Amino acid sequence: MTASVVIAVITWAARLLAPSPYGRLPAVSACWHPRRMPSDSLRFAQATTTRDVNPDRRQALIDCWIDVSNAGGAAGFPFPPIDQRDAAPALDAILGNLAPQTCRILMALDGDDLVGWLNIRRDAFALIAHWGTLHHVQTRTDRRGQGIGVALMKKAHAVARDQMELEQLHLAARAGVGLETLYERLGWKEIGRWPGALRLGPGDDRDEVLMLLELGAEEHTGRRQEHA
């Protein structure tokens, strides 16, 4: 056996025995994922009008949402299982509102495969039009732990700041699955919580965590590269 084969076997065994990056997280996060950087073929696309979403892409968005929700993901359907009848009208409602300044879908694509997506929204009312919200942040369950979620979020920051000219982003996250930590690493701050606001089931109340990102204050590295 060559030295390189021995090293490869030891590396594989070490990865297998290493604690899950998702630690004590339940259900959706309990499976082991290989740690990889996003593949070179990862790219982003946006939908800013309904014309940007063809029938295949619409179905891929729906399939992803069903997959993520049925794995217990906090992406807008808290009571799985769901199916096409739940996800399709919800997606169509978003598609019907698409507009460059007020509602965009940002998609992570590997080649032509949709691997994750999110929705950026702003209310056009002048009092609050300087900030927006993120919704339905999700990556496909078979592509977790590969850096796609972080890449998608960073791209969303750039789109919100540079294309929608937003000054802040807000989001509400379900407590108890470690999402605050993930977002804090990306520059977000927890600014409060609604204690016990989310009743996932009898005896399973969770806080709703309110998170804020100041788009001027977050790291600007790669700002120029983020226009793609």
Ligand X SMILES: CC(C)(COP(=O)(O)OP(=O)(O)OC[C@H]1O[C@@H](n2cnc3c(N)ncnc32)[C@H](O)[C@@H]1OP(=O)(O)O)[C@@H](O)C(=O)NCCC(=O)NCCS
Q: Which residues contact ligand X (rule: CB under 6 A)?
A: 21-22, 25, 28-29, 68, 73-75, 137-139, 144-150, 171, 173, 177-179, 182
Closest C-alpha to 121, from 111, 112, 113, 131? 131
Rounded Cα gap, residues 172 and 143, in angstroms: 23
Q: How far is the CB of 152 from ligand X (least distance, A)?
A: 7
Of 60 and 177, nearer to ligand X (C-beta) is 177
The answer to whether 64 touches 114, Cβ cutoff 8 Å, is: yes
How far is CA 150 from its chain centroid? 8
Q: How far is the CB of 163 from ligand X (least distance, A)?
A: 21
Q: Which distant-in-sequence residues (6+ apart) come within 8 Å of 80 by Cβ?
A: 69, 70, 71, 72
Of 24 and 130, nearer to ligand X (C-beta) is 24
The answer to whether 186 touches 167, Cβ cutoff 8 Å, is: no
Q: How far is the CB of 151 from ligand X (least distance, A)?
A: 7
Of 22 and 32, nearer to ligand X (C-beta) is 22
Q: How far is the CB of 87 from ligand X (least distance, A)?
A: 14
Q: How far is the CB of 3 from ligand X (least distance, A)?
A: 29
Of 101 and 182, nearer to ligand X (C-beta) is 182
Is the alpha carbon torsion for 180, 29, 82, 53 positive or negative? positive
Rounded Cα gap, residues 117 and 121, in angstroms: 13
Of 61 and 74, nearer to ligand X (C-beta) is 74
Residues recorded for the chain: 228
What DSSP letter does each residue of 212-227 carry, written as one string?
Answer: EEETTTS--TTTGGGG
Q: How far is the CB of 116 from ligand X (least distance, A)?
A: 6
The residue with tokens 């979620």 is 149
Q: How far is the CB of 90 from ligand X (least distance, A)?
A: 15
Of 74 and 114, nearer to ligand X (C-beta) is 74
Rounded Cα gap, residues 33 and 143, in angstroms: 8
**Residue of closest CB approach to ligand X:** 149
Of 169 and 173, nearer to ligand X (C-beta) is 173
